[in-house]
Amino acid sequence: MKRFFIVLVMLVALAGVAGAYGYQQYQSFLSKPVHLVGENNTFNIESGSNIRKVARQLAAQNVLPATNIPYVKPEWLFIAHARVTEQASKIKAGEYALEQGMGADDLLKRFTSGKTIQYQIGFIEGRSYKDIIHSVKSHPHLVQTLTEADYEQLMEKLGAPEGTHPEGWFFPDTYNFPKGTTDLDMLQRSYDTMVKTLAAMWDKYEGGSPYLKTSYDALILASIVEKETGVPDERPLIAQVFLSRLEKGMLLQTDPTVIYGMGERYDGNIRKKDLRTDTPYNTYTRKGLPPTPIATVGKAALDAVFNPQETTALYFVATGLGDGRHFFSDNYKQHRKAVIKYQLNGKKSRYQGDK
């Protein structure tokens, strides 16, 4: 009996030593940095992956530090640590950045944080729908799923009413997105943002102009304001000039709409004959608003239309001073003088507005 007790004590002691050694090696594993070689600085967790699959993937890519315990694989310790810290079931799918100096615990915290690598795409105010589509098609990190046939029916795919023209319906912003985002996902996000933004602003609009009968009218006018000036404090003034012209039955006579109507014929110059050539978008030949927006519209341009600044001005002309500003006039006589001064270097003989 005494001999059995001595053996039992020895076994317990050995188990304790083994346990202490195992714990020491476990702590050593946690203290070691992960292996990052060359461009191996990202890690992708596929949707539906569990802790075992993630651990095997880390081991296959030789990311996990080695262990000093014979026959104990690094992925086993990684799984054990995930379970001990109750993080095994909290892993989130996505692409993660790996950094020098990170340990196994750092990996787990990152994989459970959901802070995946984010890419960016920018839709710029005043650009056209074609520009938006080009940005999406050429982005290296968007998954391209749409065919040319799909683009022809894009608005229907996005849930827009039948017959919706795409111009103006994509909200300009810088969008962050994770790996795996598709072209349709991104366009849907931008379209939904514009729909919600426009609806919210229209709901708060208390009226003021009989020529803004619908939110779409406001979107069209805002697109013209967007193209006419990039100077923030001028937008509400220009919006009011156009509203005043509409109310007086005057032609809008805005060059950006003519240019839009010219399409591929526009070569960077707009001539007298272009102003006289009728298209659905030529506001020199047709009264009222054009049939659709002519550009991507930012929130500031929309806000200018819904909250125009009071002015008696009916005309404006670019000063050409390099700051993008315009000179505003109350009547045609003043406007004529401004055009001669700012656009024609004071040479009255070059003025053709009366011809």
Mind listing the pLDDT tens digit of every residue in the chain (355 residues)?
444 344 333 334 434 444 566 677 778 788 888 888 766 689 999 999 999 999 999 999 889 888 777 777 888 889 999 999 999 999 999 999 999 889 999 999 999 998 999 999 999 999 999 999 999 999 999 999 999 999 999 999 999 999 999 999 999 999 999 999 999 999 999 999 999 999 999 999 988 788 899 999 999 999 999 999 999 999 999 999 999 999 999 999 999 999 999 999 999 888 889 999 999 999 999 999 999 999 999 999 999 999 999 999 999 999 988 888 999 999 999 999 999 998 887 776 666 665 5
Q: Which amino acid is at 340?
A: I
Q: Please answer whether residues 238 and 229 qualify as being in contact, where contact means their C-beta atoms are separated by less than 8 angstroms.
A: yes
**Residue whose C-alpha is closest to residue 31's, from 7, 66, 76:** 66
Return the CATH fold of 21-113. Dna Ligase; domain 1 (3.30.1490)
Q: What angle do CA 106, 143, 175 make, to 5 degrees?
A: 70
Neighbouring CB atoms inside 10 A of 35's CB total 16
Q: Burial, 57: exposed, middle or buried (Cβ in 10 Å; 0-12, 13-18, 19+)?
A: middle
In the chain, which residues fall in CATH 3.30.1490?
21-113
Alpha helices in the chain (DSSP H): 2-31, 51-60, 74-84, 104-113, 129-138, 148-152, 154-157, 183-204, 215-228, 235-247, 255-262, 272-276, 299-306, 332-342
Q: Please answer whether residues 136 and 186 qualify as being in contact, where contact means their C-beta atoms are separated by less than 8 angstroms.
A: yes
